[in-house]
């Protein structure tokens, strides 16, 4: 589904060049829930922005659903963003003047594909994720956890190839965080959704199938969950501690 090969990205400040990604290699399979973790400056956000088609990369390749991103023009990249990728952001990105139902339908509205079928899908997804009771409310009238679950539903309305989530629990309390992460699990179970999540939260990451740990622009380790969630979180914390000491 997602293939990243030998990915390099650097930034230039004046005459200085600062490498951020230094040959990153990994793949995410259809229906897999994968997290990326690492300290500040490890390259997590840059990696997500490259996959999201928001910034160009220097070298390597990113392939999403069989389409290579390098060399595509801006019109094609915009179409990929709108039709192949679903996005969930830390700050929800809901429009205050729209109801939750209308917010969920925004990606379809952008494509000019709003109709009864889209509305029925929005209602179905809202029921799956337990937010059918807030569809006619506005963002200011609901909790942070409900806002983020609405954002997850919005990310699914176009049946994307992959959902890209950027610190989706960063602004939430522990109860809301769990509800949001479980909603990703629902998306995986109910719709075979593929999810790629950047997070600093080991609790959130422990719900994933696999965690990629980045350090200084390189993959330090990849951990696969083989047992229970709690045991996986303990393993993550041990490796994170080990990584910080090297």
pLDDT in tens, 17-76: 899 999 999 999 999 999 999 998 899 999 999 998 888 899 999 999 888 888 888 888
Kindly tell me if the per-residue pLDDT of 112 is higher than 80: no
Return the pLDDT at 195: 95
CB 104 within 8 A of CB 128: no
Kindly tell me if the per-residue pLDDT of 118 is higher than 90: no
Return the pLDDT at 36: 97
For residue 4, name the pLDDT band (cuts at 50, 70, 90).
very high
Q: Could you give the percent of the chain with pLDDT greater than 90?
A: 58
Question: What's this model's pTM, rounded to 2 decimal places?
Answer: 0.91
User: In the predicted model, what is the mean pLDDT of the chain?
Assistant: 91
Kindly tell me if the per-residue pLDDT of 115 is higher than 80: no
- Burial (Cβ within 10 Å: 0-12, 13-18, ≥19) of residue 77: middle
- Cα separation, 203 vs 6, in Å, equals 29
Backbone angles phi, psi at 16, to 5 degrees: -100, 145
For residue 14, name the pLDDT band (cuts at 50, 70, 90).
confident
| 3-state DSSP assignment of residue 212 | strand
Return the pLDDT at 129: 85
For residue 221, name the pLDDT band (cuts at 50, 70, 90).
very high
Return the pLDDT at 245: 84
Backbone angles phi, psi at 63, to 5 degrees: -120, 125
For residue 203, name the pLDDT band (cuts at 50, 70, 90).
very high
Indicate the DSSP class of residue 94.
-
Kindly tell me if the per-residue pLDDT of 114 is higher than 80: no
């Amino acid at each position: 589904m997602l293939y990243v090969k030998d990915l390099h990205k650097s930034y230039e400040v004046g005459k200085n060049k600062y490498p951020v990604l230094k040959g990153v290699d990994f793949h995410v399979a259809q229906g897999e829930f994968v997290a990326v973790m690492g300290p500040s400056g490890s390259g997590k956000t840059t990696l997500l922005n490259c996959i999201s088609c928001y910034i160009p990369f220097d070298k390597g390749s990113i392939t999403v659903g069989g389409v290579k991103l390098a060399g595509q023009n801006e019109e094609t990249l915009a179409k990929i963003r709108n039709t192949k990728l679903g996005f969930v952001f830390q700050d929800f990105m809901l429009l205050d003047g729209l109801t939750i139902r209308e917010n969920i339908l925004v990606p379809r509205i952008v494509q000019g594909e709003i109709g009864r079928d889209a509305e029925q899908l929005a209602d179905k997804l809202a029921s799956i994720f337990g937010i059918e009771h807030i569809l006619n409310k506005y963002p200011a009238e609901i909790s942070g956890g409900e806002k983020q679950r609405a954002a997850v539903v919005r990310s699914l309305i176009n049946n994307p190839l992959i959902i890209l989530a950027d610190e989706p629990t960063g602004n939430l309390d522990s109860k809301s965080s769990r509800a949001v992460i479980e909603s990703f699990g629902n998306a995986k179970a109910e719709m075979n959704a593929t999810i790629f999540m950047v997070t600093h939260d080991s609790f959130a990451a422990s719900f994933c199938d696999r965690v990629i740990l980045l350090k200084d622009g390189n993959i330090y380790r990849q951990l696969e969950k083989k047992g229970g969630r709690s045991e996986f979180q303990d393993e993550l914390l041990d490796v994170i501690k080990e990584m910080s000491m090297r």
